[in-house]
Amino acid sequence: MTLIPKDWLPACSMKRVICHWTAGGYKATSLDRAHYHILIEDDGKLVRGTHSIADNVSTADGVYAAHTAKCNTGSIGVSVCCMAGAQASPFQPGPFPMTQKQWETMAKVVAELCLFYQIPVTPQTVLGHGEVETALGIPQHGKWDPMVLPWAPEMSRTQVGNLLRALVQRAMLGDEPPEQPSSATLSIEGKTFPVVMLNETATVAIRPLAEGLGWSIISAAGGQVKVNANGKMLTLASTLVGGKGHVACRDLANALELPIEWDAATRTITVG
């Protein structure tokens, strides 16, 4: 089933798709519509921008969707409606964080655009606004959208961009997207740490956990990490998540011989 109405897709030649967030609320405003060709609201609903995609074949007449500084010619602008009040560092998603529904819908929309306009999926032709400066060499004055996932903020911007392109390619092939990571919190010894939940497993990054609790990492190799937890030696299976070594929260609780509980209301895992 296609998402984009046929009359939104004029016959013309386009070079790339650039993805954004509006830095506003969950609904498209008239100003948002003036800047992007297609917008995605919090429930996945598509909203058509004021300008036709064909308006960006050439920007010489000044009538086009101005979504990316000095990179609007031949560029389709797709944006999720979200992230008002967000800050990049330290990351704060604000009161309108991008939803997984928006993220997944954006990948499907981009896939349809790539198929219709025969745009190859590469880091130079399907990219986030926050990748433009690096990938195309065009300064973007610190833009970072939509390169941080509120449910997996530990992922690097490079990883997020690669994930977006992988999802687009899967959608082009008609494949269902893989399960996306979600976030939770681990509470242990009175301190909290971010948790990644994926494929029914909750994991926590071992290095910041050890540093936060005053533990020492003895070694980390061969899919195992050995930790001195204030005199108690632990050997835990580890896996890479977002480029960082993670251990399963359940394995951690078992090694410490402590109970583990899950609070669905607060999305908190308590060990001890």
Is it true that the peptide bond before 120 is cis, omega within 30 degrees of 0? no
Give me the pLDDT at residue 201, please.
84
- The residues pairing with 221 across neighbouring beta strands, listed in sequence order, are 224
Q: Where in the chain is the domain with CATH 3.40.80.10?
A: 14-172
Structure tokens at 82: 């979200």
Residues in the chain: 272
Kindly give, in sequence order, each residue whose CB lies less than 8 Å from that of residue 17, ignoring residues fewer than 6 positions away: 75, 76, 78, 110, 113, 114, 119, 125, 126, 127
Give me the pLDDT at residue 189, please.
94
- Asked whether the beta carbons of 213 and 229 are under 8 A apart, the reply is yes
37-49 tens-digit pLDDT: 999 999 999 999 9
136-145 tens-digit pLDDT: 999 999 999 9
Helices and strands (H and E) in the chain: how many: 6, 14
pLDDT-derived band at 8, boundaries 50, 70, 90? very high
Q: Is the pLDDT of residue 127 over 70?
A: yes
Q: Is the pLDDT of residue 177 over 60?
A: no
What's the first-to-final CA gap in the chain, in angstroms?
Answer: 48
Sign, CA dihedral 160-162-168-174, equals negative
Assess if CATH 3.40.50.1820 describes domain 14-172: no
Q: Is the pLDDT of residue 169 over 90?
A: yes
Q: Please tell me the least confidently modeled range out of 28-37, 95-104, 218-227.
A: 218-227
Residue 259: phi, psi to the nearest 5? -70, 155
**Average pLDDT for the chain:** 93
Sign, CA dihedral 148-131-11-32, equals positive
Residue 108: phi, psi to the nearest 5? -70, -40
Residue 210: phi, psi to the nearest 5? -60, -45
pTM above 0.75, yes or no: no
DSSP label at residue 21 = E
Question: Pick from 51, 54, 47: which is nearest to 66 by CA?
Answer: 51
Assign residue 264 a region (left: φ > 0; alpha: ψ between -120 and 50; beta: otherwise). Answer: alpha
Which strand (E) or helix (H) includes residue 263? Answer: strand 260-263
- Strand ranges (DSSP E) for 178-215? 182-188, 191-198, 201-205
57-89 tens-digit pLDDT: 999 999 999 999 999 999 999 999 999 999 999
